Amino acid sequence: MGAYILRRLLLIIPTLVGIMAINFVIIQFAPGGPVERIIAQLQGTDVSATARISGGGGSDISAGGQDSGGGGGEAVSSKYRGAQGLDPEFVKELEAQFGFDKPPLQRFGEMLWNYARFDFGESYFRDISVIELIIEKMPVSISLGLWMTLLSYSISIPLGIRKAVKDGSPFDVWTSAVIIVGYAIPGFLFAVLLIILFAGGSFFDWFPLRGLTSDNWEQLSWPARIVDYLWHLVLPITAMALSAFATTTLLTKNSFLDEIRKQYVQTARAKGLTERQVLYGHVFRNAMLIVVAGFPGAFISAFFAGSLLIETIFSLDGLGLLGFEAVINRDYAVVFATLYIFSLLGLVVNLISDLTYTWIDPRIDFESREV
């Protein structure tokens, strides 16, 4: 097992390099960039309101050693159509501040070297380092991803097992109808419905609408803080868990049905074992493999991508919203740093998932497989 883990860890390196390289190349051909954004603001044509730039000449931006994305070093007039009327030396100075005066390969190499040392530089349009910015937004995304995953799995797995045992019964039929309806409703649409019903939209005003804590959270006692925190999470977690809840439930049910119909289950019953012993002593370990296989994807999706619309609707300033704003604002320092961190985390979680296989079913031996 040690050799397998070592091979998987070493495989993370070329995988990360490949992910970063593909996205770096895409950025080279993407229209616009941070320099164009500065020029647009100076010309008064930029309509985005999220970038925060201050100082003389409209730019106090530093590349901070984090050189990613953008252009190269051709003539200013051919690259920046909105730069007419600006001093070419000023535009070249902007390029130098962002590091775009260097060849793309050099910038990519420096980016990888910095990232290998977890040096992500500073945000182009915020007076803060990228790692500090990510840490600042992390509690929101951790709260959403962790609680959504725990809620989804704690309900879906027991319900899926119960549906498998009661397959074809009225309980199975009506719960399946509820699950299908829940799966068909988009999470963001359900979030809007929850706001209308329970957050002062048109009916009840039972739940808060903004943030993870109240304004007076610092003055509350610790028990009151916990209650306030959980109270703020009710609506966003409910909206996020809807589709994941349906998917995990049906996956668990189908997995258990496949195992229940196998010959070893009939043999266990013939030996006089109770249904509970058969279900949890024999079937559970085999049936849960496919559920465990889906956990990394579900967790990563809930942690990052799945929270974007929910964070926006409920005014939660987390990583999903941060990544979206960074793309819109051409803040490539944040874009590539979050991409690197998310990809690294996803690869590590996938490795943990494979190791969990061997804990659930010791018959699985990854040592004998080629990676």
45-69 per-position pLDDT tens digit: 655 544 443 333 334 433 333 444 4
Listed as ranges, residues in the chain with pLDDT below 70 are: 1, 41-87, 90-91, 201, 293-307, 360-371
Instruction: Look at residue 144 in the predicted model and tell me its pLDDT.
Output: 82
265: left (phi over 0), alpha (psi -120 to 50) or beta: alpha
> Could you report the per-residue pLDDT of 4-30, keeping only the tens digit for each?
788 888 899 999 999 999 989 988 777
Cα 344 from Cα 334, distance rounded (Å): 15
Instruction: Look at residue 86 in the predicted model and tell me its pLDDT.
Output: 60
Instruction: Look at residue 369 in the predicted model and tell me its pLDDT.
Output: 55
Cα 350 from Cα 352, distance rounded (Å): 5
In the numeric block, the tokens 């493999």 are attached to 289
53-65 b/e with 16+ CB inside 10 Å = b? beeeeebebbbbe
**Structure-token pair, residue 55:** 């100082």
Instruction: Look at residue 150 in the predicted model and tell me its pLDDT.
Output: 82
One-letter identity of residue 73 = G
Q: Which domains does the chain have, with CATH numbers?
A: 2-125 (no CATH), 131-328 (1.10.3720.10)
Cα 335 from Cα 323, distance rounded (Å): 6
Instruction: Look at residue 171 in the predicted model and tell me its pLDDT.
Output: 92
Instruction: Look at residue 304 in the predicted model and tell me its pLDDT.
Output: 58
* Closest by CA position to 346, among listed 1, 4, 19: 19
> Could you report the per-residue pLDDT of 108-157, keeping only the tens digit for each?
999 999 999 888 888 887 878 889 888 888 888 888 888 888 888 888 88
Instruction: Look at residue 309 in the predicted model and tell me its pLDDT.
Output: 78
Provide the mean pLDDT of the chain: 77
Cα 15 from Cα 123, distance rounded (Å): 25
Instruction: Look at residue 355 in the predicted model and tell me its pLDDT.
Output: 78
